[in-house]
């Protein structure tokens, strides 16, 4: 599958992040806990430099417990603070605020010595499209300020938002990879919905996902769809899922578009199981 997508507004966003860096004390880097490598922008390290950073592993309720632990250990070894977050159910949000205050402790003391008290901590949130940025912002701020949607590219321009715990947040539009050197990165982003579905062939995507899950989580597939994947081709497995889910059209033909949409949707909503597609 050829996946290559880098709209012009992504370039503008990158320039905007660089420009606004001097306005903030701390960076929130939002990643998808199922694909922390693929959802991390490779330019972020060079853009952010030595600015304090918290890696927020969102959708951690959809990724495996074991995967979550390994990723937290990985960031700890790199000296980067990380938090497991499920922004839909408000899990991990207080920890984000607590770590922010901890990281800014020294700066706050220096300001207090100069007589400046209660100055808000200013943070900037960066992340690829559709990793749950708007939902996270709404949960942190306790309001319905940021537009949300299960489609990439809802956030359009920069906006300051007041958060709990004397924090102010500069939101930025989602920034995607400039290009995908590695096909598996493009696929991971497609599986999780970071790339608009209209740009993809949903049937090929579902086949690739089933292929990956047979290698990594075969039991989940068997349990979810009441099938046996042992010694079967991907085509046969998808065919079995279609039969069990009633995706049969006229003349007993398999409706591959329908079954593909079911598989992708089941994966994205965690119905197949808690799945981590990348480990450190």
Segment 38-69, tens digit of pLDDT: 998 777 888 888 899 999 999 999 999 999 99
Whole-angstrom Cα distance, residue 56 to residue 32? Answer: 8
All structural domains of the chain with their residue ranges? 8-171, 201-268
Please give the helix or strand (H or E) that residue 208 lies within, else none. helix 202-216
Strands (E) in 70-191, as ranges, are 81-84, 121-127, 159-163, 167-171
Q: What's the pLDDT score for residue 6?
A: 52
CATH topology of domain 8-171: Rossmann fold (3.40.50)
Q: What's the confidence (pLDDT) of residue 85?
A: 95
Encoded tokens for 128:
């690829």
Q: Name which of 5, 35, 67, 11 is nearest 185 in CA terms.
A: 35
Q: What are phi and psi of 106, to 5 degrees?
A: -60, -45
Please say whether the structural domain 201-268 has been given the CATH code 1.10.3720.10: no
Give the SS3 label for residue 268.
Answer: helix
Token pair for residue 13?
A: 């966003």
**Residue ranges of the binding site:** 58-61, 130-135, 174
Binding residues for GTP: 58-61, 130-135, 174
Give yes or no for a contact between 208 and 183, defined as CB atoms under 8 angstroms apart: no
pLDDT of residue 173: 63
Q: What is the reported pTM?
A: 0.86
Tokens of 144: 């319905």
């Amino acid at each position: 599958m050829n996946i290559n997508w880098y709209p012009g507004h992504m370039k503008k966003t990158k320039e905007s992040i660089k420009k606004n860096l001097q306005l903030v004390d701390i960076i929130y880097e939002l990643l998808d806990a199922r694909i922390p490598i693929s959802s991390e922008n490779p330019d972020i390290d060079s853009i952010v430099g030595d600015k304090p950073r918290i890696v927020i592993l969102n959708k951690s309720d959809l990724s495996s417990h074991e995967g979550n632990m390994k990723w937290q250990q990985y960031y700890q070894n790199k000296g980067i603070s990380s938090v497991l977050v499920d922004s839909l159910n408000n899990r991990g949000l207080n920890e984000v605020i607590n770590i922010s205050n901890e990281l800014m402790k020294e700066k706050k003391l220096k300001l207090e010595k100069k007589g400046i008290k209660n100055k808000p901590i200013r943070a900037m949130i960066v992340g690829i499209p559709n990793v749950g940025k708007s939902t996270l912002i709404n949960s942190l701020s306790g309001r319905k300020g940021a537009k949300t949607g299960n489609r990439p590219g809802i956030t359009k321009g920069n906006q300051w938002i007041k958060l709990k715990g004397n924090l102010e947040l500069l939101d930025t539009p989602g920034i995607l990879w400039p290009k995908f050197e590695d096909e598996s990165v493009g696929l991971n982003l497609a599986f999780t919905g970071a790339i608009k579905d209209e740009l993809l062939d949903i049937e090929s995507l579902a086949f690739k996902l089933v292929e990956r899950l047979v290698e990594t989580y075969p039991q989940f597939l068997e349990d979810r769809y009441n099938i046996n994947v042992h010694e079967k081709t991907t085509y046969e497995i998808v065919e079995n899922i279609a039969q069990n889910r009633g995706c049969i059209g006229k003349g007993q033909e398999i409706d591959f578009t329908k079954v593909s949409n079911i598989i992708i949707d089941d994966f994205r909503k965690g119905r197949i199981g808690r799945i981590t597609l990348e480990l450190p």
